[in-house]
Structure 1
Amino acid sequence: MKTVIKNVLLGSVAGLAMVGTAAAADLPVKAKAAEYVKICSTYGAGFYYIPGTDTCLKVGGYVTADTYYTDIDAKSRYTSPDLLIRNSDDPDGQSYFLTRVGVQLDARTQTEYGTLRSYFEGRFNAGEDYGFGQEIETGEFDFSDGSVNSAQMKYGYIQFAGFTFGRATSAFDFWAGDGWQGIQPGSFYSDTTLNVVQYTADFGNGFSATIALEDSYGREDQYANFVELDGQQVPDIVANIAYEGTWGAFKIAGAYHQIGNYDPLTPDLAPFFSSDDSGWAALAGVRFDFAETTTLYVEGAYASGAPGYLGLAGTIPVVDLYGNGIAGWYVGGALIHYWTPSVFTTLVGSYTQSDNFQTEYAFVYGPVTDPSVVSGIASTDFTGYNVGVNIGWVPVKGLTLVLQYDYLSAEYAGTDYINTAAVSTEATQNRITFSAKRSF
């Protein structure tokens, strides 16, 4: 009996030992602590530490969906003592749609030399384009009638110890069309993004100064860059002095723009040629902030042999028929007022005018089967203005709905002294825009 009890007890002890061993084997091994994404509050809302690094990253973007209705009226006139030619074109208004998706990445790291920053914005555009305005990709003033499906790097730069390298906003620009809404903004002002090497010195108390080398190709159209300017030998040299304070801001900027070699278009008139080999531009702008509800921008610029600094790349030549740099100016601005935190209105616009310059012209008239042509060299100038008004509503954070109307006029007018004639070409445009933009 004792032997039986002993065997039972030993068996029970062995069984318990086995159970204990099995239970120990089934216990979970302590896992390595998970590395969660941490908020980075150093640079403001929306930044997070990239896991395993001390770099803070903000990911954002936006979607803009625009609907347009544009009505254009174009006319030209040739008047001499013995001939009058008038041409006009008033097509029906056109409706079209544009959509843009923007992706933004902002990476910042604190170093012993200050903040190391990399910024990127990519834009993806789709839709049809019609009418006069700032060209959707390059910012040039132009007429477009076609597809704008494209992918574009708007910004892509590195900032470190006061330097900026890459594709960024020109050190020349200040107002840059603030107040215009939608993918197609207004015209006749300087707003250019291009490749740069910039250095900015911060003097404290809101004052700073910038010196920059900027890609001159980004300021002119293809004809100017490779025909009139004969390529880029020296990049544009741009400098500014700026201030940012509680009442607003101001900037004074200047730029040097190399013209390069120019071969006259009419060799038999060579004895009369003068040839400018450099252009320049100057800008002054101010912004007033009133009671956190109203912002007023006022800006003016003058340029000679550098129409890209007036937003007129491709609109007026860099040099005229005789090789002289063409000068011009613009004044513009905007008044933005928030009636409530979610409702605002804007009055925005600009006016531009060039000095007289010499250019060739040709007017075609008569029957289509046997047309006649009158041509010559006119001393002409360009005048343009674009004014607009909009009302916007922000029903929820991140969503902006805007209805906008604008009117544009662009005219070349001059005199041909040889033919004793007055010549002019004018285009006007009425445009209505509805824009919906979601930012995140």
Structure 2
Amino acid sequence: MNVLKRSLLGSAAALAAAGSAHAADLPVKKAAPIAYVRVCSAFGAGFFYIPRTDTCLRISGRARFEAAYQTSSSRQPGAAGDTSGYRGLARFNLDARTQTAYGTLRAFARLDAASRTGVIHSGTMLRIGQAYGATGVDEAGRVQQYVNVDKAFIQFAGLTAGRASSFYDFYAHDFEFYGATSGSDNASTNLLAYTGTFGNGLSATVSIEDPVFTRSPVFAPFTNAAAVTPVFVGYTNGVPSRYGNVDTIQRSRLPDFVGVLRVDQDWGSAQLSAATHEINVGNLSTATAAGTGGVLTGIPHTNAVQGWAVQGGVKFNLPSIAPGDTLYLQGAYANGAQSYAGYCMIAGCYRQSNTGFDTQKFEQYFADASINPFTGQLQTSTSFSAVASYLHYWSPEWRSALFGSYGEQDFSAGARLAQGALYSLVSPSSTAVFGSNAVGVPGTRFYQLSQALRDTYQFVLGGSLIWSPVTDLDIGVEAFYTQIGVRNGRVIDADKSPTAYANVAGINAGTFVPRTATQDSMTHVRFRVQRDF
């Protein structure tokens, strides 16, 4: 038995020794070092080094809930008539920065996505393809899903390239929920810009920017063919008797050119901005001219024109009143570029006429220009806006803002008279062709009351109260009142007289007397809960 035990133990020892010898001959693989995330303090809080790189990254975002109430005066068939609405919004930010021999190399990207209903919706975003409307019977025009690449730009050695806010903008509704005041606020456009700094807070920027996002339509009177506008091409004894159509869809040829002078110091900031904006439409249609008789004269191609705008603004830091208090003052004037004056902000841009609230009594026209039917050439509109906004901190947790604006847009009397002369040839006794865009025959009662190309004004006055119980959490409410009106005369009240535009002959004969108005107004209240991280 002892002999057997000694034999087994000897065999095991021999096998163990042999195994150790073979193991010693195998290569040893070392464990990969762990790449720990390191804090990057070079660019402020929240940045960390991307593992195995010298690039610092900050990931941030936002979650928001909003509910709104808005006055509405009617539930007529076809009218929206909503008085409430809701929105949930998600935002994601990526901010990557690297120190180089030429300074900081930065790339920034922001994606917004939202679901909104009722009075919290945007025809503007729907028209430019950033919002997608539901099509169900109860949901049509009342539910939207919204996706927007809000920012995606690179900054390097004074260069900014990508999708960013327009350098023309200054106040840009910094203290508002809705963004109801007038004033340019082009938060997302494509641009290439260079900024030079000169010390003492002084800088200058030259920017080439996408013209699509500052474009308002050229007035097209046809309701059933909004892409064309008629011009006279034939005359009988000096009287227009035939017309052809000009394609009014604007072409992208030249970018918008923006120039900015800015100063930033301890007392605040000041900025002077200027921009040019080309209006460039198509040719006269080759289709047979409409009308009868007359000698065809032909109309030259509608020449492009350069719209332009200027804006000045100042921001005052007022720590003597309370830490964080700020006052903005801003004014702008535009010729053929009303988006730069921001006159369309309350109602929504990218449409030649619009309503800022449900069942509005008449439409405001935001067209940058109309085509003179006698000459075939563009006649630009003018607009201006003035804005004031004040933010006050009652305590570190409580703050409120007061804001207001006034603006006007004007079309030359010659432009409206010319469109009226055209109307007398195309549709002298009805609006079947023109609809609510009908100007009417000059000298008639309908011409005096029609809404198309009327000079209008608007003002906004509002305020907010926000509670921030902890850092980056805002719970607040905003309310504002806005009024729009015609600067001269009266217009048909389309809410109280919805059939008026189908009774032109009756209005001119005095057998149909429509309700009229000089102004309309709306009150909007919005509640918000927002967490930034």
**Amino acid corresponding to residue 454 of structure 2 in structure 1:** T
CA distance, structure 1, for counterparts of residue 383 and residue 43 of structure 2: 42
Q: Deviations over 1:75-109 (max 9, x none)?
A: xxxxxxxxxxxx9x998661110111111111111
What percent identity do the matched residue pairs reach?
A: 29
Q: In the TM superposition, what is the alpha-carbon distance from 1:290 to its structure 2 partner?
A: 1.1
CA distance, structure 2, for counterparts of residue 121 and residue 222 of structure 1: 29
Aligned to 1:258: 278
Q: In the TM superposition, what is the alpha-carbon distance from 1:159 to its structure 2 partner?
A: 1.2
Please provide the CA RMSD for this pair: 4.1
Aligned to 1:167: 163
The two structures have a TM-score, normalised by structure 2, of: 0.66
Aligned to 1:124: 113
Q: Deviations over 1:176-228 (max 9, x none)?
A: 011102xx331421100211111111112211100011111111246679754
Q: What's the secondary structure of 2:455's corresponding residue?
A: strand
**Amino acid corresponding to residue 164 of structure 1 in structure 2:** T
Check the 8 A contact 2:68/2:120 in 1, yes or no.
Answer: no
1:134–1:304 CA distance, 2 compared to 1 (3 A): farther
Aligned to 2:469: 395
Aligned to 2:354: none
Check the 8 A contact 2:183/2:341 in 1, yes or no.
Answer: yes
**Amino acid corresponding to residue 171 of structure 1 in structure 2:** F
Pair 1:215 & 2:210 matched: yes
Check the 8 A contact 2:217/2:368 in 1, yes or no.
Answer: no
Check the 8 A contact 1:172/1:254 in 2, yes or no.
Answer: yes
Q: In the TM superposition, what is the alpha-carbon distance from 1:409 to its structure 2 partner?
A: 1.5
Pair 1:241 & 2:261 matched: yes
**Amino acid corresponding to residue 107 of structure 2 in structure 1:** S
Q: Which among 84, 90, 95 is matched to residue 106 of structure 1?
A: 95
Check the 8 A contact 1:110/1:116 in 2, yes or no.
Answer: yes
1:115–1:211 CA distance, 2 compared to 1 (3 A): same
Check the 8 A contact 2:251/2:282 in 1, yes or no.
Answer: no
CA distance, structure 1, for counterparts of residue 303 and residue 142 of structure 2: 37
1:138–1:45 CA distance, 2 compared to 1 (3 A): farther
Pair 1:288 & 2:284 matched: no
Q: In the TM superposition, what is the alpha-carbon distance from 1:375 to its structure 2 partner?
A: 4.1
Q: Deviations over 1:11-37 (max 9, x none)?
A: 699599869959x99xx9753321101
Gaps of 5+ in 2: 129-139, 221-226, 228-246, 292-296, 352-364, 373-377, 424-428, 432-439, 491-507, 509-513
Q: Deviations over 1:221-269 (max 9, x none)?
A: 4667975463121111100001111111011000011112477999999
1:257–1:13 CA distance, 2 compared to 1 (3 A): closer
CA distance, structure 2, for counterparts of residue 259 and residue 387 of structure 1: 33
Q: What's the secondary structure of 2:198's corresponding residue?
A: strand
Check the 8 A contact 1:70/1:131 in 2, yes or no.
Answer: no
Aligned to 1:430: 523
CA distance, structure 2, for counterparts of residue 403 and residue 243 of structure 1: 33
Q: Deviations over 1:128-179 (max 9, x none)?
A: 142798945789xxxx952221211111111112111111111110000111
**Amino acid corresponding to residue 253 of structure 1 in structure 2:** S
Aligned to 2:395: 340
- Give the aligned length: 401
Check the 8 A contact 1:256/1:278 in 2, yes or no.
Answer: yes
Aligned to 1:353: 408
CA distance, structure 2, for counterparts of residue 355 and residue 54 of structure 1: 55
Q: In the TM superposition, what is the alpha-carbon distance from 1:276 to its structure 2 partner?
A: 7.1
Check the 8 A contact 1:175/1:333 in 2, yes or no.
Answer: no
Greater relative contact order, per chain length (Cα 8 Å cut-off, separation 6+) = 1
Aligned to 1:376: 447
Q: What's the secondary structure of 1:380's corresponding residue?
A: coil
Q: What's the secondary structure of 2:339's corresponding residue?
A: helix
CA distance, structure 2, for counterparts of residue 349 and residue 263 of structure 1: 42
Q: Which among 148, 161, 171 is matched to residue 152 of structure 1?
A: 148
Pair 1:203 & 2:219 matched: no
Check the 8 A contact 2:46/2:58 in 1, yes or no.
Answer: yes
Q: What's the secondary structure of 1:288's corresponding residue?
A: strand
CA distance, structure 1, for counterparts of residue 516 and residue 204 of structure 2: 45
Q: What's the secondary structure of 2:96's corresponding residue?
A: strand
1:210–1:267 CA distance, 2 compared to 1 (3 A): farther
Aligned to 2:243: none
Aligned to 1:191: 185
CA distance, structure 2, for counterparts of residue 321 and residue 376 of structure 1: 19
Q: What's the secondary structure of 1:284's corresponding residue?
A: strand
The two structures have a TM-score, normalised by structure 1, of: 0.79
Question: Structure 1 or 2: larger strand share?
Answer: 1
* 107-116 or 261-270: bigger deviation: 261-270
Q: What's the secondary structure of 1:376's corresponding residue?
A: helix
Pair 1:303 & 2:331 matched: no
